[in-house]
Chain A
Amino acid sequence: MSRERKWLVGICILVVLATLAACGPTPTPQVIKEKETVVVPVKETVTVKETVVVPQEKTTVTIAYNQYFNMTFGPADPPIVAIKKAVESKYPNIKVELLVTSTEAKTWHDMYTTWFMAKDPTVDILGVGGYWTAEFAEAGWLEPLNDGVAPDVDPKITAKLIPAYLEAHTYKGKLMGLGPWWGGIGGLYYRKDLLEKYGFKPPQTYDDVVTIAKTIMAKEPGMTGWTWSGKKDVALVNRWFEYLYGFGGKYFDDAGKCAMNSPQALAALEYMVNLIKDGISPAEVATWKEEDSMVRFVSGQAIFHTGRQDMLFWLDNPEKSKVVGKWGFIPNPAQPGGRRSGTYEGWAFAISKFSDSKDAALKVLEVMFDFPVQKELNLSQGPVQAHMDVYTDPDVIKNNPNMPLIEEIAKTALAPLSSPQYPEIADILAEEIHAAITGLKAPKAALTDACARIDLATGH
């Protein structure tokens, strides 16, 4: 091989290598700007039936939300249609458009950060996950709704929304969004028939659950005690928060340091670990996502199940469920000194700092959280939602007799851990809690490590 060729081949190899290595794990800001590479936004233009010819130019307000905005599961229009109709009649000059996002939360989140960093003015109203509020607010990407600087939300609207949730979307004293639009809350499902058969009342404390489960499991062979979602994932973190508060622990101390290594927290994690050790929860929980974890309960093989309220809507459907009429749903238990808590996972709506029509956006936002649209939403999708009056509306209750149950649970809503570092904290917790329930780490070590890492991430 001649010198020259050696040299050339060397260069080629280096270039190939670097290229190969660079394609993968080297993210760069350039990538961020090309938002098309991250997602394929589906712009859906809905032709609004115009009854009046409006001479002025219309302001377009774009809402970013996932495909569920186009769907209905009950006797009402899909949300986007309901919103369009309501806005149309109130503000003929405003045109509403939907930009469909991913349903996958991670992708959805990363899509937003991409837009924000590019200061993209397209989207005016954003559906945001509860725990994104703090992060986005800290970065200055959201428009505060009560800071005395227009646009500010009409107090008549907020007066009707459940205060706990308003608080959940408040960051450093400023209201950053309205929600939940669509909320999910964890609660405890139990087998009413079995508990009655063996003379138990629905459990109040975590110890009750263990006692009941042990007794019934001994008498009903093949029954699983308690199922929940323990895959290394947000679902596990959500469960962890419920146990944490149920045992009297909390996220942070007053100085903002991680408090999840407190004795209460340790008791909570030890309780979780023991559930598996004692066979009340099978070791498989550590592999289950929410949808896997509910299988045994729905097929009549589990006594208790912790999960969101969504399941209510079809638990009495004989095509899907083997426990029709045999179940109950109550707020999660708590130990003495603890708080009965359901992790609230909700989607709120906020206004982008980079929106080019914030005033119109606020008007649309107010319409979305006013009673008519909220009621329509309940009839079409029936979630846990912000407006108090919905829970007691006769049409709603007629359509969904479980609404009083949901109201009970909704009261136990636990405000999400509010930190701009939430994504990192959630990952840390998922790793450490999962390590504990799979026996890789002692609970104490897991919590100590978790808090050390969380304090490092939040700069404490």
Chain B
Amino acid sequence: MKIRLREPTIAFLFLLPAFIGVIVFYYYQIVQTGIYSLHNLQHTADWQTQPFVWFKNYATVFRSTYFWQSLRFTVYFTFMATVLELAVGLGMAMATFWVSRWLGGILRAIIIMPWVIPPIINAMIWRWLFHADVGLFGYILVSLGLVDKPPLFLTEPMLAVHSVIFADVWKNSSIMAIFLLGGLAAIPADIYDAAKVDGARSWFRFRKVTLPMLLPTILVALLFRGIDALRTFDLIYGLTGGGPGTVTETLSSFAYKYYFTYGKFGLGSAYAIVVFAIIVGLAAVYLSRIRRNMRFKE
């Protein structure tokens, strides 16, 4: 007897091994992290004897003003960074897409560069650029006569926050651009030609044709970049070390520090779970908002 399966069922069967892998490697760990977060685990004490403490670790997390402050910073950072990255990335993608093939290849190579540089090196480059004594930016501002002394990019709170955003935009706009280039390439050339003969000038074309057709790509790229930005750690740490004070401390630094550096696994797990929940929550809200726009094809 032949069993005939419907296409979605077949697809599901094919995906099953991947699902199982994901469940084992991620969900299992998430569950385990969840269990740890309910215990008072520390690396300096024997695990067996450590008590179950209900939600005490979570209470510690939510009572920490530092945590709330870094949540605010991280959300602000994520919002600004992704929006700016989208704008810059879109500009770069359009530029690359519309110039000749030969020039486009060179531009692409230039664009990908910041993204290939390891974050820690990136941080070093930016530390140098923002350096008060020998930094390029300070020098430029002084030479232009805008300020008479190089600003303290990494210690003035407002400046530090935006310097960090600036550096992240510089680095990650390229990946955004590459995402979008993929989306642009998928738009048939005929559609642009049709728009041209239909009388649309470039700005109108961009607004009414390019942008909406790119929208699904943009939304997915924003999601990916957004989640990435919510988890940012190394670039900021290399640049400001979370300073001045705790102004640029990111959410993900808590879980890392408590878990690995302080060896407080219980509390570290609680931080991890909270951050995880925040990211999933934000992403879910985002996804539910954009669902309609993701499927113009149907």
Contact = CB atoms under 8 A, between A and B. Distances in A.
A113 B252 CA distance: 20
B44 A427 contact: no
8 contacts: A19-B22, A20-B279, A24-B233, A28-B33, A139-B44, A283-B155, A284-B155, A295-B133
A292 interface: yes
B284 A30 contact: no
Nearest to B156: A438
A275 B45 CA distance: 43
Interface of B: 8, 11-12, 15, 19, 22, 26-27, 29-30, 32-33, 36, 43-45, 66, 130-133, 152, 154-157, 224, 227, 231, 233, 240-247, 249, 251-252, 255-265, 268, 271-273, 275-276, 279-280, 283-284, 287, 295, 298
Contacts of B259: 27
Contacts of B275: 21, 25-26
Interface in A228-283: 231-233, 282-283
Nearest to A28: B29
B44 A26 contact: no
Contacts of B245: 232, 431-432, 434-435, 438, 440-441
Interface in A171-218: none
A427 B280 contact: no
B261 A5 contact: no
A110 B43 CA distance: 12
B86 to A, nearest CB: 18
B243 A438 contact: yes
A24 B252 contact: yes
A421 B15 CA distance: 46
A29 B8 contact: no
Nearest to A232: B243
A22 B276 contact: yes
Given A287-B155, A423-B262, A22 B26 contact: yes
B262 A421 contact: yes
Contact of A286 (B243, B249, B258, B263): B243
A231 B243 contact: yes
Contact of A17 (B241, B284, B298): B284
Contacts of B263: 113, 135, 139, 423
Contacts of A424: 257-258, 261-262, 264
Contact of B276 (A11, A25, A432): A25
B207 to A, nearest CB: 29
Contacts of A431: 66, 242-243, 245-246, 249
Size class of the A contact interface (CB-based, 8 Å): 35 or more
Report which residue of A25, A27, A457 has the largest number of chain B beta carbons within 10 angstroms of its beta carbon. Answer: A25
A24 B231 contact: yes
A311 interface: no
A109 interface: yes
Report which residue of A17, A28, A282 has the largest number of chain B beta carbons within 10 angstroms of its beta carbon. Answer: A28
A106 B132 contact: no
Interface of A: 1-2, 4-5, 8, 11-13, 15, 17-30, 106, 109-110, 113, 116-117, 135, 138-140, 231-233, 282-284, 286-287, 292, 295-296, 420-421, 423-424, 427, 430-432, 434-435, 438, 440-441, 457
A4 B8 contact: yes
A8 B255 contact: no
B256 A19 contact: no
Nearest to A107: B260
Given A286-B155, A434-B245, A139 B252 contact: no
Contacts of B271: 25
A133 B172 CA distance: 40
Contacts of B287: 13, 17
Contacts of B243: 231-232, 286, 431, 434, 438
Contacts of A430: 241
Contacts of B227: 17, 20-21
A438 B158 CA distance: 12
Nearest to A109: B261
Contacts of B268: 27
Nearest to A435: B245
Contact of A440 (B29, B157, B262, B279): B157
Nearest to A283: B152
Contacts of B255: 25-27
Contacts of A440: 157, 244-245, 247
Report which residue of B26, B36, B155, B241 has the largest number of chain A beta carbons within 10 angstroms of its beta carbon. Answer: B155
B256 A17 contact: no
Nearest to A284: B132
Contacts of B132: 282-284, 287
Contacts of A17: 227, 279-280, 283-284, 287
B246 A26 contact: no
Contact of B261 (A26, A110, A233, A284): A110
B280 A18 contact: yes
Contacts of B240: 232
Contact of A110 (B33, B154, B260, B279): B260
B244 A232 contact: yes
Contacts of A21: 227, 231, 275-276, 279-280, 283
A117 to B, nearest CB: 7
Contact of A135 (B12, B29, B44, B155): B44
Contacts of A286: 152, 154-155, 243-244
A15 B27 CA distance: 9
Given A18-B280, A423-B261, A26 B30 contact: yes
